[in-house]
Every structure is written in structure tokens, then in C-alpha cells.
Amino acid sequence: MIAVSTWLVTHPACLEHDTSSGHPESAARLRTIIAALEDPIFEFLIREEAPMATREQLEGAHDPDYVAEILASVPDSGYTHIDPDTLLSPHSGEAALRAAGSVCHAIDGVFQGKAQRAFCAVRPPGHHAEADRAMGFCFFNNVAVGAAHAVEQYGLGRVAMVDFDVHHGNGTEQISRGRSRFNYFSTHQHPLFPGTGVPSQDSPKNITNATLADGDGSERFREIFAGSILPAIDQLEPELILISAGFDGHRSDPLATLRLDETDFSWATRELVAIARQHCNGRVVSVLEGGYNLSSVGRCAAAHVEALMM
């Protein structure tokens, strides 16, 4: 493998976001991924510390009142429940700021010539967070905050946000609607939480959804990805590709019923890198979303990052 300059952006604060005992979105997920990325094959992966996103960066994707409300809701002790599954604990504010900030920092890295690609190993995840609503374990939409930062700081006109998490990124789609520079592409299982993302003739031109069904495996995933998602991204000729990298489509994941494995995530990543090489000097920034089986999430993340480094 010939490694290109690739960043791993993370921060210990992301491990301090306490979601309570038994919650699927636990710190153990991130520990497993970080441990997998300590393998000698990742010796050339450049470790970077995630900064905290600024209010201005967050407000590129979120309503200012919502940003203030979330940060004010972080408790001094115990938990603040936004909904039964989405909760804040005393260190959640910093973790959420570091998660969003990691994507902005990685984008700066690829546009300033310090890296060609990056993987942001952070939590809480982000793709369910809407402009003014937290849900699905998510508070700030990390990838959308990054897209807004790329548009504002580097004047981009075509940002591709590609989401292969098993759940539809309703938040990323909602934030992208009405923003012609944002382009959202998603494969996801349907029906499944949050119940959105059904392809429609009424969808804006900058939204592409492709659904998978209960029990679909590698063949169907690759057929849909190659037939619907990749051609649409190629036609866009993106100036930057952002990936919402969820690994919960794996056959062992407890929150869904697709039958993918780590080779599928590696394949999809290689295909996206190929498009990035053609259109945007290889610039790809990926951020962790889902993936809740501890025996598989590390392997999937490692396969994804290895493909980013090629």
C-alpha cells in the first residue's frame, strides 16, 4: 500500500460523553476504533487533536438559538434527556464541540496542503441533528457544520456529503435543502429509524436517496451504490467529498438488518476516493457516525481508513 498523507482527528473528550449504562452509542465504540487504528499498518497515519468548533462554525448549519439551547442544557451532574435516546451529560458539551470542530479542522488540513484525506474518529455522531433539533444520539450535525465551513472559508460551490450509515441522515438532508452548494447522497435501510429518505420525484436536485431493504447484502449494496450514488457524485464534479461513515450496515449490528461486511465499506471508500482524485485533488474528509457492534466496528473503521490512505 502506498500511503497518502492522511489525518486521524480525535480527542479524549469524545470518550467522556456519557450516554448511560447499556446505551448503544457508548464510549466503547470509539475506544475500539482507536485501538484498531494502532495496528502497524497505520504507522503513517498522522494523529491530530480535534479543536472545539466555534459558535460561528456551528451557526453555519444550525439556528443560533438552538446552539445556545443545547450548550445551556448540558448538566453539571446527571443527565438531560432531549428524547429517550438522546441525552446530555456533564462532558457532552465539549465532546459535541470537538466532534464538529474535528471536521472543520480536517477540512482546513486538506485545503492548506497539510493532508490529502482525513478520518474524524469522534462522538457524539451528527447526521440526525437538524438545524434546530437534536435526535438519534446527535446534537450538532458534524458533516453539515464542516460543509458550511468549507463553503464559507474556501468559497466552494459543490460539496458532496456521502452517507452510507444504515440510517438515513435526516438532519443532513434537512440542512441541505435550499442550499445549492450542499449536495447530499445517501444509501440506507428503509423502513428504519428515522423513517425518512424515500426517493421522490419531488426531491431537490441536490438530494439523492437510495434505499436498501431488510436482509440486503453486499451485492445489492454495491449495485445501488454504483448505479445511483457514484454516477450522481461524478456528474456533480465535487470540489470536496465529505463522508458520513456509519458502519451499522454490518451484518452483526444490533440496530439494523443489512448484511454488509468490512469489505463493502472498503470498496465504497475506494470508489469515492477515485472520484475525489478525478475532480477535487483527492480531497476526502470522513467522520464517524454509527456502528454499534464492538466486534465489528473496529474492523470496519480500519478497512475504511486503510482505503482512505491509498
Query: What residues have CB less than 8 Å from 277, skipping those under 6 apart?
Result: none
What is the longest distance spanned by two Cα atoms in the chain?
Answer: 50
Grid-cell match 423513517, residue found: 195
Instruction: Tell me which residue of 157, 208, 146, 150 sits closest to 179, measured CA to CA.
Output: 157
Angle at 93 between CA 120 and CA 295, to 5 degrees: 45
Grid-cell match 468559497, residue found: 155
Amino acid at 151: V
| DSSP state for residue 250 in the 8-state scheme | B
| Main-chain phi, psi angles of 302, to 5 degrees | -65, -40
Cis? peptide before 194, omega within 30° of 0: yes
Distance of alpha carbon 105 from alpha carbon 244, whole angstroms: 16
Clarify whether 190 is annotated catalytic. Answer: no
Out of 62, 127, 128, 167, the active site residue is 128
Which positions are catalytic? 128
